[in-house]
Amino acid sequence: MRVLTRFWRELGGDPGRLIDLPAPPVVPLPSRLSTGDLAWASVAAAALASGRAAADLTALDPVRIALSYRSDRMLRIDGAAPSVWSPYSGFWVTSDGWIRTHGNYPHHAAAMRAALQLTDTAVSRDISAALASIGSREACTRISGAGGLAVEVADERPQFDAALREHPIVEIQHTEGAPARVLRHSPGDRPLEGVRVLDLTRVIAGPVCTRTFALLGADVLRIDPPHLPEPEWQHLDTGHGKRSALLDARSDRFRELLSGADVVVLGYHPSALARLGLAPDALAAEHPGTIVLDLSAWGAEQPARRGFDSLVQAESGIAVIESADAGRPGALPAQALDHSAGYLLAASAMILLERRRLHGGSWRASTSLRRIAAELLGMPRRQEPGSDADIDTTAHAARFTVAGRQILTTRPVLPWFEFEAPRPWSGDQPRW
């Protein structure tokens, strides 16, 4: 409860909404760190921001939250579980320690092969052999230098994490100059009907945020660059209720979309956004009144650095803490940094939409996976992670037909609403 109270205060929510908060339930995400408590507080913040009363939080199902945080494991496409991890993603032993790599996207896998001088047919044993003879730092330098993604598995840094926690979980900035703005369209039964959201994100955190907007009635348009395909399973896992189109961010049409958006969600690393003229400050100057949500892996202090949840877990010390045997690194039971960042950003946007209606101005909300990791590392711990419960998923499954494919996903964590089906990735036109 204390975590939710602090999150809500830092987001700028009305403190009167916290009266009669229920005690948080046990969310079955077994780990040494308080993964379940973080998950409940993040989802509860989004529920409160959507207009639910504190007493309504008793309807949040802890099993549903756990399944949603692990939705990639529940996903079925035509009855089959997709392969969600590439052979190039994982922990690897080096000559002096461990590294974690991420190669789910083909261009990242190709960069890793180039760095390690491997052929296109390389398999896990080839990667293991190449890495066993070099040190962790050298391996990461080589892979990163080639355009791939790798970090050293490291111990936690308590002082560094404490310094991060001195900042709000989501930082809010206000720029004056834009008048108060009512929505372009009349709101309907769902709280975000009439809100236009431009989704410029990939890989769980941003898509979870914008999936929440779509669940609550917003018109969400996801735009991807034409040269960067998205894995099918990844989009189907988090694409519910959104439209999806391809468009060059340098085009006039893209600028028209920006001018029509109430909320713009950014998920690419800061230096890439700056090159495209999409830095949050630039968007506020060019499109006054816009609410910009800014998500990165490592934070504004490392603007050129790319990353994913698994890499942040490895470098922040989480992988060492969650090791099952004090040897091989471990992991959280879910991509919890991603999911929590998504729900907290969604909560911040709903609060900021109301501030914009009352006071005008442009607003920015930003967080990073590394900041979420610092939060988790500062929460209570347990000696042993516990074990996975045998959960009946029947009541928590949603079924859709998407382009002739039969899709099974988790139902939403906000139980007052139901998902609309994901649409095929890139199948829509780039227009409001």
Give buried/exposed letters for 65-87 (b at 16+ CB in 10 A, else e): bbbbbbbbebbbbeeeeeeeebe
CA distance 155 to 40: 26
Per-residue pLDDT of 152-178, as tens digits, reads 999 999 999 999 999 999 999 998 877
DSSP, res 22 = P
Domain boundaries along the sequence of the chain:
2-75+169-303+332-410
Tell me which architecture the domain covering 2-75+169-303+332-410 has in CATH: 3-Layer(aba) Sandwich (3.40)
pTM value? Answer: 0.97
- pLDDT at position 176, please? 86
Per-residue pLDDT of 321-336, as tens digits, reads 999 998 899 999 999 9
Token look-up 């990844």 returns 234
Q: Is 97 a residue whose pLDDT tops 90?
A: yes
**Cα→Cα distances 79→75, 392, 421, Å:** 9, 17, 17
Burial class from Cβ neighbours inside 10 Å (0-12, 13-18, 19+) for residue 144 reads middle
CA distance 62 to 53: 18
CA distance 228 to 400: 26
Mean pLDDT of the 260-285 span? 90
The alpha carbon of 205 is separated from its chain's Cα centroid by a whole number of angstroms, namely 1
Q: Is 187 a residue whose pLDDT tops 70?
A: no
